[in-house]
């Protein structure tokens, strides 16, 4: 493969991934509003377009045409840098997400993953941790007490749950004997088992940590609208305000759901019967069925998050950190202990 | 009930220097100002009048001892109410050691009458800003205020003072607080002890109105709290002195605007008691009022449940509750013609008979409502997060209830059997069967359970009222007829209704606590003094105590579980 072809392929990958993430991110607002509406027994947006299909567009135009306000005595540089710091690391996680199996196009073997680095999982968590800088900077730069409290809450949560999520992910990594996201999926396919069946504890812990990291109910205390109005975004306006929930609620949920799918649900592999094999109702699509399965799994996870968000009340800050350090972390460590016994039994 | 002859005589024997007076409506103990504290202490501790109801003063305009102060106390065990009165020139001893609620009542009296309270820990104005220089409820303060500040309108500022016709307003207005005044008030209220003073309000979604809280924060822990009230202050008590009895009814709507029908009922019953016509009000009117009040109670509790869940992050319950609330709103609109400010009751009855089909609609509503309620309880009552946020948060003991003068669901949540509907039945409450739910621990969770159960009991009451009203014919009167129209004119508009001299304290059980009216009439068309005892005001006074060493997140839980309404607090 020539250097030019490689460059073109990577460029195409970048464009496709960015276009899909940001485009889907906008449309997920509509999905969320529709799901929330139906949970609450109302139709949701119905006016703009058929069943509100053009609603995200209308929202976007409204947000973009709003006046750009900088609060007095806010730090201009940090105030704007916070948005970049929130958006970029969250999107970069997708660089290590394998969306499907290797495909054969125009004589090239292409892995549908931007960079198959051998420390993919660590990269994903590193970028996830970087996201806290966006929040912390926005809270600091807005020069508002509400924003500061919200940002500190978020920082507290991320510090607690970053530890938990890493220890939870250690289980599948030990089973797969690899840190590369692509290899973890391949390991699950070779061992003919999704790691959710071997790692149920770690799966539950990971889902909780996902909710906490993305600021979803019951862990949405950094923007608890009843007490902090909207927390760290309170001083932002227009699209700058719109970007924060877009990143937190959609891009981060998607990226972490993808990582979750890779670690526990066998990535692009079809329905699994543990240790027996895979059943693929989409067999007629050939290698493309993998993409369908990946999308289905991420969608289900996203809907689960929405379901919890619109049903549960929220925890208090001390209760959240207590759960992280006193319940989740010991569970994750216990899981590692068990995994250490199981891992050698598996055929690699 | 008023304190009996026997109790008064015992008090007279025990404290020889007091004078006692009892008539049908009120039992009064007169005492010298110097002996006030000792008398109150004896009455509280030895006679069991532990629950603080209200305190204020009356401006008698006499040359000597201009102000007459009254303290209303209640004995929950024997169900007796007593009024202690004293006279003063300009100062009174503070009762803050006996009842904390008295502290807030004293602040209000200081604000409105300029009474100085000796020994009060922090005597600042309750509603007006601290740089305000008048005492509005004094009789020599004009109703329209002193218009001595020039406040040009925007038009006048831009185009100059050459506007003609209807555009040419008066330029002088009463004094309004400037930003400087408010800053001074804020600095005056709280002395910073910890890291940050967080301004929580006046316009904040968590405060359910326009309340202004100051939290002194150490990290997220609240060290001290204060409340600045008065953003919705309209001087309803001053207005009452200048309005005929019937026309004051519309102001009761605008006090607790979420439960207007209950406030209407409480005021009407108070005036009827003062007139002595409680017995001639037709049965039909009584049942209609009771039924409507209970509908309003469910309505009000639904708003509380929705916003409470919303504050704790359960967004969906809010919409479920509002959907049911909308149905009640429609029913109320169909019957009375209004949704929010209703003014349905009249002195002597109600404004109009029930329309055709109203009972059937109500019946179908109460048939399905308990099922909905059960659904919501499934989502909330046993939810672990809900329990974690509510259990052992904002705990109130029985002693706290008396000390802070708490009433309504807050008192019942702590296990104090205090429900005016049972203790002092008005209208048809004596004729219907219902239970009073009581809590055990007195935390937010118990208050939540009490309110939810109260909705069920309200459904029971409505059911019985509907059954009774179905048996009544359409031609039965809904307005009382005066035996002697020359003496007592009872009409729908209430014009020319003369009330004899006398005084009464009468209260109704509002969804937010006891709403009491102390009416002092010197005869004639208008009352001489009306003191409104707002349940929310005294329920809120426990808030700084409950917030000690709690997190900011608990601020919303505790505030919502006390369920104050600013319109009633500020009046």
Contact B315 A318 (CB under 8 A): no
For A292-296, the CB contacts below 8 A with 24+ separation are: A293/A268, A293/A269, A294/A99, A294/A100, A294/A258, A294/A261, A294/A267, A294/A268
Of chain B, the percentage scoring pLDDT greater than 70 comes to 98
Query: What is the per-residue pLDDT for A334?
Result: 92
In a domain, B198, yes or no: no
Buried/exposed code over B475-485 (b: 16+ C-beta within 10 A; e: otherwise): eeebbbebeee
Average the pLDDT over B164-179 and give the result: 75
Sorting pLDDT into bands at 50, 70 and 90, what band is A182?
confident
Q: Do B316 and A314 touch (CB under 8 A)?
A: no
Which H helix or E strand runs over B412? helix B408-413
Pick A313's closest partner by Cβ from B220, B314, B552: B314
What average pLDDT does this structure show over B209-219? Answer: 85
Q: What is the pLDDT of residue B313?
A: 81
Tell me: cis bond preceding A14? Omega within 30 of 0 counts.
no
Predicted confidence (pLDDT) at residue B472 exceeds the cutoff of 70: yes
Spell out the residues 6+ positions from residue B151 whose beta carbon is closer than 8 angstroms to its own. Answer: B171, B172, B173, B176
Of residues A106 and A151, which shows the higher confidence score?
Answer: A151
Instruction: Give the pLDDT of residue B167.
Output: 62
pLDDT value at A36 more than 70:
yes
Nearest to B551 among A229, A314, A317 (CB): A317
Structure confidence at residue A226 as a pLDDT band (50, 70, 90): low
**Among A120, A102, A100, A119, CA closest to A111:** A102
| Residue A348: pLDDT over 60 | no
pLDDT band at B163 (very low <50, low <70, confident <90, very high): low
The three-state secondary structure class of B290 is helix
In angstroms, what separates the C-alpha of A69 from chain B's closest C-alpha? 20
Inter-chain residue contact B552 with A318, CB threshold 8 Å: no
Query: In the numeric block, which tokens belong to residue B15?
Result: 């404290």
Domain boundaries, chain A: 70-345
Closest approach of chain A CAs to the CA of B137, in angstroms? 35
Query: What is the DSSP code (8-state) at residue B420?
Result: H
B59 inside domain: yes
Domain boundary among B176, B191, B209: B176
Q: Are residues B348 and B424 in the same domain?
A: yes
Interface of B with A in 406-435 (CB under 8 A): none
Q: Which of A234-243, B11-20, B311-320, B556-565 shows the lowest mean pLDDT across its residues?
A: B11-20
Provide the number of structural domains found in chain B: 3
Q: Going by C-beta distance under 8 Å and a sequence separation of 6 or more, which residues neighbour residue A115?
A: A95, A96
Give me the domain span that covers residue B158.
Answer: 133-176
Model confidence at A1, pLDDT cuts 50, 70, 90, reads low
The closest CB to that of A316, out of B199, B204, B551, belongs to B551
Count other Cβ atoms within 10 Å, centred on residue B327: 17
Summarised one tens digit per residue, pLDDT across range A67-92 is: 888 888 878 888 888 888 888 888 88
| Through-space distance between the first and last CA atoms of chain A, rounded to whole angstroms | 30
Burial zone of A74 (CB within 10 Å; 0-12 exposed, 13-18 middle, 19+ buried): buried
Give the CATH number of the domain where residue B246 resides.
1.10.645.10
Decide which of B496 and B136 is more confident.
B136
Contact A310 B551 (CB under 8 A): no
Alpha helices in B28-113 (DSSP H): 36-45, 100-113
The lowest-confidence range among A278-287, B454-463, B518-527 is A278-287
Segment (H or E) for B570 = helix B566-570
- B552 and chain A in contact, CB less than 8 A: yes
The answer to whether position B469 is within a domain reads yes
Residues A149, B220: C-beta atoms closer than 8 Å: yes
For residue A221, name the pLDDT band (cuts at 50, 70, 90). confident
Residue B330's pLDDT is what? 92
Q: Does residue A250 contact residue A216 with C-beta atoms inside 8 Å?
A: no
Q: Which H or E run contains B28?
A: strand B27-30
Residue in chain A closest to B319 (alpha carbons) equals: A40
B459, pLDDT greater than 70:
yes
Is residue B90 included in any domain, yes or no?
Answer: yes
The CATH number of the domain holding residue B13 is 3.30.460.80
**B139 and B107 within one domain:** no
Q: What is the mean pLDDT of residues A25-29?
A: 83
Closest CA to B305 of B192, B466, B194, B449: B449
Cα-Cα-Cα-Cα torsion B171, B175, B180, B181, nearest 10 degrees, comes to -170
Tell which phi-psi region holds residue B29, choosing left (phi > 0), alpha (psi between -120 and 50) or beta. beta
Query: Are A312 and B314 within 8 A, CB to CB?
Result: yes
User: What chain A residue is nearest to B206 in terms of C-alpha separation?
Assistant: A226
CA distance A225 to chain B (A): 7
pLDDT in tens, A107-135: 777 777 878 888 888 888 888 888 788 88
Same domain, B88 and B165: no
Residue found under tokens 């002859």: B5
Residue B11 lies in a domain: yes
Pairwise CB contact (< 8 Å): B205 & A316: no
- The H or E element containing residue B88 is strand B80-88
Of B198, B319, B554, the CB nearest to A40: B319
Strands B502-510 and B513-521, bridge-based pairing: antiparallel
C-alpha to C-alpha distance for A188 and A175, rounded to whole angstroms:
9
Please give the Cα distance from A343 to A199 (Å, whole number): 11
Q: What is the pLDDT of residues B346-362, one digit of tens each?
A: 888 888 888 888 889 99
Residue B112 CA to residue B127 CA, distance in Å, equals: 9
ipTM over 0.95: no
User: Three-class SS of residue A168?
Assistant: helix
First to last CA, chain B: 26
User: Could you tell me if residue B217 is inside a domain?
Assistant: no
The candidate with the shortest Cα–Cα distance to B300, out of B571, B9, B10, B568, is B568
Mean per-residue pLDDT of chain A = 85
Yes or no: say if B260 and B342 are a contact pair by the CB < 8 Å rule: yes
Choice among A14-28, B389-403, B486-500 with the minimum mean pLDDT: B486-500
C-alpha–C-alpha distance, residues B504 and A206, integer Å? 65
Pairing of strands A103-105, B221-228: unpaired
Same domain, B106 and B152: no
Mean pLDDT of chain B: 86
Same domain, B304 and B375: yes
Work out the pLDDT band at A347, boundaries 50, 70, 90. low
Rounded to an integer, the average pLDDT of A327-346 is 88
What pLDDT score was predicted for residue B496? 78
């Amino acid at each position: 493969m020539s250097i030019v072809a490689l460059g073109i392929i990577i460029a195409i990958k970048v464009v496709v991934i960015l276009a899909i993430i940001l485009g889907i991110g906008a449309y997920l607002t509509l999905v969320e509003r529709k799901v929330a509406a139906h949970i609450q027994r109302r139709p949701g947006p119905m006016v703009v377009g058929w069943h509100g299909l053009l609603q995200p567009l209308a929202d976007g135009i409204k947000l973009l045409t709003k006046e750009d306000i900088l609060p007095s005595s806010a730090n201009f540089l940090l105030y704007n840098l916070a948005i970049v710091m929130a958006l970029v690391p969250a999107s970069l996680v997708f660089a290590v997400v394998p969306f499907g199996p290797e495909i054969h196009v125009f004589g090239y073997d292409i892995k549908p993953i931007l960079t198959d680095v051998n420390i993919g999982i660590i990269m994903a968590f590193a970028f996830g941790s970087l996201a806290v800088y966006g929040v912390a900077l926005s809270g600091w730069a807005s020069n508002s007490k509400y924003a500061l409290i919200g940002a500190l809450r978020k920082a507290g949560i991320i510090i607690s749950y970053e530890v938990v999520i890493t220890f939870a992910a250690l289980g599948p990594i030990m089973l797969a004997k690899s840190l590369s996201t692509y290899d973890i999926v391949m390991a699950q396919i070779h061992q003919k088992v999704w790691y959710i069946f071997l790692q149920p504890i770690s799966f539950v812990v990971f889902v909780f940590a996902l909710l906490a990291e993305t600021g979803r109910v019951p862990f949405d205390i950094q923007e608890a609208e009843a007490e902090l109005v909207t927390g760290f975004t309170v001083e932002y306006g227009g699209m700058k305000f719109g970007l924060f929930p877009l990143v937190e609620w959609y891009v981060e949920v998607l990226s972490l759901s993808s990582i979750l799918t890779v670690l526990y649900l066998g990535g692009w592999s079809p329905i699994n019967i543990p240790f027996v094999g895979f059943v693929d109702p989409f067999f007629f699509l050939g290698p493309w069925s993998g993409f369908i399965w990946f999308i289905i799994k991420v969608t289900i996870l996203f809907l689960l998050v929405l379901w919890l968000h619109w049903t549960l009340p929220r925890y208090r800050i001390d209760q959240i950190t207590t759960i992280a350090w006193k319940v989740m972390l010991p569970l994750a460590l216990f899981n590692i202990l068990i995994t250490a016994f199981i891992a050698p039994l598996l055929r690699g | 009930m008023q304190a009996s002859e026997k109790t008064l005589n015992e008090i007279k024997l025990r404290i020889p220097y007091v004078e006692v007076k009892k008539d049908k409506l009120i039992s009064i103990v007169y005492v010298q100002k110097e002996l006030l504290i000792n008398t109150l202490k004896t009455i509280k501790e030895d006679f069991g009048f532990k629950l603080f109801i209200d305190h204020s003063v009356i401006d008698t305009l006499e040359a000597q001892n201009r102000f007459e102060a009254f303290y209303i106390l209640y004995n929950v065990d024997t169900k007796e109410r007593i009024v202690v009165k004293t006279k003063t020139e300009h100062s009174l001893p503070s009762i803050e050691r006996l009842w904390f609620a008295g502290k807030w009542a004293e602040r209000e009296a200081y604000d409105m009458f300029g009474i100085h309270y000796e020994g009060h820990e922090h005597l600042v104005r309750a509603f007006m800003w601290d740089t305000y220089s008048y005492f509005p409820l004094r009789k020599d303060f004009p109703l329209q205020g002193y218009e001595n500040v020039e406040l040009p309108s925007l038009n006048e500022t831009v185009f100059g003072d050459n506007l003609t016709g209807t555009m040419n307003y008066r330029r002088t207005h009463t004094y309004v607080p400037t930003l400087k005044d408010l800053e001074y008030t804020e600095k005056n209220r709280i002395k910073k002890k910890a890291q940050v003073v967080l301004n929580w309000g006046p316009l904040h979604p968590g405060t359910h109105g326009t309340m202004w809280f100051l939290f002194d924060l150490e990290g997220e822990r609240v060290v001290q709290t204060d409340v600045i009230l008065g953003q919705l202050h309209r001087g309803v008590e001053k207005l009452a002195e200048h309005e005929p009895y019937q026309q004051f009814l519309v102001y009761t709507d605008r006090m607790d605007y979420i439960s207007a029908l209950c406030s209407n009922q409480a005021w009407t019953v108070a005036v009827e008691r003062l007139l002595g016509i409680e017995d001639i009000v037709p049965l039909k009117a009584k049942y209609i009022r009771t039924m409507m009040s209970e509908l309003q109670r469910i309505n009000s509790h639904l708003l509380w449940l929705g916003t409470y869940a919303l504050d704790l992050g359960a967004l969906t319950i809010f919409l479920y509750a509002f959907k049911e609330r909308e149905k009640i709103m429609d029913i109320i609109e169909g019957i009375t013609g209004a949704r929010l400010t209703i003014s349905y009751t009249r002195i002597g009855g109600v404004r109009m008979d029930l329309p055709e089909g109203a009972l059937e609609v109500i019946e179908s509503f109460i048939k399905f409502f308990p099922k909905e309620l059960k659904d919501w309880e499934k989502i909330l009552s046993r939810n672990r997060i809900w329990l974690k946020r509510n259990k052992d948060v904002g705990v109130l003991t029985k002693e706290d209830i008396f000390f802070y003068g708490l009433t309504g669901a807050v008192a019942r949540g702590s296990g104090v059997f205090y429900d005016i509907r049972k203790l002092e039945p008005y209208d048809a409450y004596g004729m219907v069967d219902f239970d009073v739910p009581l809590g055990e621990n007195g935390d937010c969770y118990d208050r939540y359970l009490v309110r939810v159960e109260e909705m069920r009991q309200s459904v029971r009451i409505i059911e019985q009222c509907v059954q009774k009203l179905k048996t009544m014919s359409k031609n039965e009167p809904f307005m009382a007829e005066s035996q002697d129209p020359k003496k007592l004119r009872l009409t729908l508009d209430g014009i020319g209704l003369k009330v004899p001299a006398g005084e009464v304290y009468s209260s109704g059980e509002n969804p937010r606590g006891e709403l009491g009216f102390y009416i002092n009439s010197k005869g004639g068309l208008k009352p001489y003094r009306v003191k409104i005892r707002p349940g929310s005001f005294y329920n809120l006074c426990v808030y700084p105590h409950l917030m000690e060493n709690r997190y900011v997140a608990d601020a919303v839980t505790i505030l919502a579980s006390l369920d104050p309404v600013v319109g009633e607090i500020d009046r």
